[in-house]
Amino acid sequence: VVRWGRSVYANIQKFIQFQLTVNVAALVINVVAAVSAGEVPLNAVQLLWVNLIMDTLGALALATEPPTDSLMHRSPVGRREPLITNIMWRNLFVQALYQVIVLLVLNFGGESILRQDSRTHTLQVKNTLIFNAFVLCQIFNEFNARKPEGMNVFKGVTKNRLFMGIVGMTFILQIIIIEFLGKFTTTVRLNSMQWLACLCIGLFSWPLAILGKLIPVPKTPLSRCVLKVFRRLKKSRTA
């Protein structure tokens, strides 16, 4: 019972980390693009599609992770301990920052990189690349979310057939959306090189996750650290 209880708690944390990464990256990308250029690279239909596959399929994929023996070696979680740990904040920040930087570079420099026949087609290809790369980043990041603390994110992944099936289905659905249902999402078909570029952007999240886990995090929860900073600021003002 204790093992399953810890497994449920850990799976909830995995999904929260994964979902926050999606939302933070999408929000920052659209806000920065809207403020600076007056246009958003990810439209409402695309964001609806992202939330549909990540909220439903992503939740199923991460919620079905079976309990492992390593869970019993962890210390019990106190009632006042935050649900989002410093390790989760670190992983979230690393992945979201990477996605924001890469996709904003594509947004502002994509036209000069692509050089299509017309400016209209160039904009369509650029926005499709951003949307496709963003979704692929989330698909590959699902593997990272499985192991918030472990270096080997593929450990035991083949044993969870439902996880592999959901990830595979999400990838196939994304191909269908881009190649055949572009009218609904305002996208255009991509060639093999453009698909390869999107795949490389998504795949880089794996080595990046390993590098990110080398960054040490404090034991004190982030919320308490922020409160301490605010208290010090108040004391300095009143002094």
Tens of pLDDT along 33-74? 999 888 899 999 999 999 888 888 888 888 888 777 676 666
The separation between the first and the last C-alpha atoms of the chain, rounded to the nearest angstrom, is 53
Q: Where are the domains of the chain?
A: 1-73+84-237
pLDDT per residue as tens digits for the range 111-147: 777 776 677 888 889 999 999 999 999 999 999 999 9
**Given CA atoms 162, 168, 169, 174 in this order, what sign does their dihedral have?**
positive
Identify which of 22, 5, 6 has the alpha carbon closest to the alpha carbon of residue 144: 22
Q: How big, in percent rounded to 5, are the helix, strand and coil portions of the chain?
A: 75, 0, 25
- Residue type at 161? R
Comparing 38 with 190, which gets the higher pLDDT?
190
Q: How far is CA 124 from the centre of its chain?
A: 23
pLDDT at res. 205? 95
Decide if pLDDT at 26 tops 90: yes
Q: Domain 1-73+84-237 adopts which CATH fold? A: Calcium-transporting ATPase, transmembrane domain (1.20.1110)
Decide if pLDDT at 76 tops 80: no
Residue 147 tokens read as 């192991």
What integer best gives the mean pLDDT of the chain?
87
